[in-house]
Amino acid sequence: MLLVLDVGNTNTVMGIYSGDKLLQHWRLTSKKQTVDEVGFMILGLLSASAIEKEEIKAAAYASVVPPLDEMFIEGVNKYIGVRCLKVTDKLDTGLKVRMKNPTGLGADRILNAVAGISKYGSPLVVVDLGTAITLDVIAQDGAYIGGAIAPGMELSMESLFLHTAQLPRISLEAPGNYIGGNTTEAIQSGIIYGSVGMVDALLNGIFKELGGSCCVVATGGNAPLFAEHSKLISRLDQWLTLDGLRLVYERNRFID
């Protein structure tokens, strides 16, 4: 079995693969922990899923939070007994990148593109709805050509609360109407429907520059909520990044 970990600014997503089948997955809060705490956390999740640590033969790791790298990588090594293959721009990902400065491309965006092309072909747009909203664009020939980045819905909401003393903290759910009947509904409408409108506007601009519409895949923690209201998202695939980790591992595999 393969253990995969994707560490983001807000959430850490972890999964277990047997071949190409995702057996189990978890979405956890990203936070600074000790190596031992990471190890015990992973062991606890495996135990709850009736998976023995000896069944894990390899691990793949991606992160956009460098300060958390050492504790996760060492935690897996110490408690699971396997090395983590860390996704970097030095690995063979199989992805053609055709943009002005590819060195700044995050591991999560590379993995989404790799998995997206494998599962849905090209041209393609992957919309990842996490701390940031990222749109990754794959051209007809399968090359990654760029995209767009905007604040995510939770980040927008936190910014609103930080700079407005009297607005209440709310849950992130869609109200029944665009016109909020109270302050909570008004904030929910602005954050959710406003973000959907922004992404759909970006997608229309991308389609124009690509010369036509294409498949749009939504992934990330807020993907189900978002995809329900977007007019242009055609597929929902919450665990796309984990599939990318598996595929990149298979191209660069080592087993302890």
DSSP letter for 104, please: G
CA distance 13 to 250: 19
Identify residue 234 by its one-letter amino acid code.
Answer: S
Give the active site residues: 108
Residue 139 identity: A
Strands 84-86 and 58-63: parallel
Write the Ramachandran bin of 144: left for phi over 0, alpha for psi from -120 to 50, otherwise beta.
beta
From its phi and psi, is residue 121 left (phi > 0), alpha (psi between -120 and 50) or beta? Answer: left
- At residue 82, what is the residue type? V
Stated length of the chain: 256
